[in-house]
Each structure stands twice: as C-alpha cells, then as structure tokens.
C-alpha cells in the first residue's frame, strides 16, 4: 500500500499520515526527515543534497527522488509507505512516477485532505505557542487554562509569524499554484481519493480507513 498525502499547509495531512502509518504498520516517510538522516549519516546522496542546501538552493527533483527511492527500498517499506511532503510539483510527480514505473512499481492512493483556505487561516490563526518551553495551544480546540499563559511554565503565549493570517495566505497561494495541479495529475491516474478535512480529526481518519479498506 503506497500512499501519497496531498492537502494545503495546515490541512492536517501530516497528522493523518502518522495515524495511517501506525494503523497499517508502514513507515511515515517525510522528505525532510530523509534529508536530515542522509546528511547526518554522511551518505553520498546526503552530501550531494547538502551542497545545494548550504547555498540556500532547492535540492533538484532527480536527487530528491533518488534519496526517496533509496529510503523506500529499505526492508521496513516492503508492505508500503505513506509519503508526506513529496511530491510538491508536477515535475516532481513525473520524475517519481517514471522512477517507480522503471522499478515495476506505482502509487496506490493519493489522498487529498481537502480544507477551504478560510478554514485553514482561521485554524492556524488560533494557534498559540510558548517560546520558553515549546508547548502549543489553540484558542478554540486546546485552550490554555489561563488566557495567554502557558499551563506548563507560566510564560506568555504568542502567535508565531508563521501562523499569522497574511503568512498563511501566502503559503496557501504557493500551494494553489505549485501543488494543487497534482490533484488533477493523480485523478487522471485513477488513484485520487478526497476526504473532507474540515471534520474532526478522528472522522477524517475514519473516512481514510474506509477508502483504504
């Protein structure tokens, strides 16, 4: 069972990816994690990626796919995996598709966690973080006991720059331009499944489990 998670930043696809990985006992494969592991272990692919990252450049698609295929060739991926954070663009999807085809393999499901922009802006805008101890809250869903104060250490909670409405909207604009076309790409391959991401997290997961069977 090889799954790709799609959805806008803040749609909750990372949380769902972890839950799928746990339930079906397959690895949750995040490209960020793979890059860090390869660099830390000093692999040849990791060193190549580091050259680009040190210059503040994006790692080329071919190299990213090489690192990804190297990861999914591991024994723990023999029953499948959940890809989170890749592909992000049509060229990346095409490189991945070609590489998997050459291995006689393919993606089984592309699951789109669909949440309207206004919901995401509101959801992210409600987050609050404690910069002292790293605890996170949400003014609606996980409020602190005392307004604006961390339960754990008593420090003041802040709205991080990343969660401010204008920043979130900019990230969403990039997503619509670069990543949303993947929805059509995987629909054309007959593997796209869409779930309503505005529901409670558990209901979203139940909908995904029904799809995966």
Give residue 87's pLDDT band: very low, low, confident or very high (50, 70, 90).
Answer: very high
Does 139 reside within a domain?
A: yes
pTM listed for this prediction: 0.84
Q: How confident is the model at residue 31 (pLDDT cuts 50, 70, 90)?
A: confident
- Give residue 154's pLDDT: 96
Beta bridge partners of 156: 149
Task: Report pLDDT digits (tens) over 156-185.
Answer: 999 999 899 999 999 899 899 988 999 999
Neighbours of 129 (CB within 10 A): 17
How many domains are contained in the chain? 1
pLDDT at 160: 92
Q: Does the bond joining 87 to the residue before it have cis omega, within 30 degrees of 0? A: yes
199 in any annotated domain:
yes
- Which of 9, 212, 60 lies closest to 68 in space, CA to CA? 60
Judge whether residue 141 has pLDDT over 90: no
Return the HEC string of 99-117. Answer: HHHHCCCCCCEEEEEECCH
Through-space distance between the first and last CA atoms of the chain, rounded to whole angstroms = 11
- Would you please indicate which residues are annotated as catalytic (active-site) residues? 13, 88, 127, 160, 171
At residue 51, the pLDDT reads: 92
Exposure letters 148-178 (e unless 16+ CB within 10 A, then b): ebbeeeeeebeeeeebeeeebeeebeebeee
Helix (H/G/I), strand (E/B), else coil: 144: coil
191 domain-assigned: yes
Domain at 174, CATH number = 3.40.50.300
Structural domain includes residue 57: no
* Assigned domain for 14 exists: yes
| Rounded to 5°, angle at Cα 211 from 27 and 93 | 60
Q: In terms of residue numbers, what domain contains 120?
A: 2-27+74-212
Residue 105 lies in a domain: yes
In a domain, residue 37? The reply is no
């Amino acid at each position: 069972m090889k799954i790709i998670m799609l959805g806008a930043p803040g749609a909750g696809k990372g949380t769902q990816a972890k839950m799928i990985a746990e339930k079906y006992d397959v690895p949750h494969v995040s490209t960020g994690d793979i890059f860090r592991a390869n660099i830390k272990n000093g692999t040849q692919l990791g060193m190549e990626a580091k050259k680009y990252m040190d210059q503040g450049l994006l790692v080329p698609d071919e190299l990213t796919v090489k690192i990804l295929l190297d990861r999914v060739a591991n024994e723990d991926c023999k029953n499948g995996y959940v890809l989170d954070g890749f592909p992000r663009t049509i060229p990346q999807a095409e490189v991945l598709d070609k590489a998997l085809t050459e291995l006689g393999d393919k993606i089984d499901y592309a699951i789109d966690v669909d949440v309207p922009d206004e919901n995401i802006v509101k959801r992210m805008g409600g987050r609050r973080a404690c910069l002292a101890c790293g605890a996170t809250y949400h003014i609606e869903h996980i409020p602190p006991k005392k307004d604006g104060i961390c339960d754990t250490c008593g420090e003041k909670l802040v709205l991080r720059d990343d969660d401010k409405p204008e920043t979130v909207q900019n990230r969403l604009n990039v997503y619509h331009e670069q990543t949303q076309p993947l929805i059509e790409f995987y629909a054309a391959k007959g593997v796209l499944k869409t779930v309503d991401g505005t529901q409670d997290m558990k209901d979203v997961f139940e909908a995904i489990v029904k799809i995966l069977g």
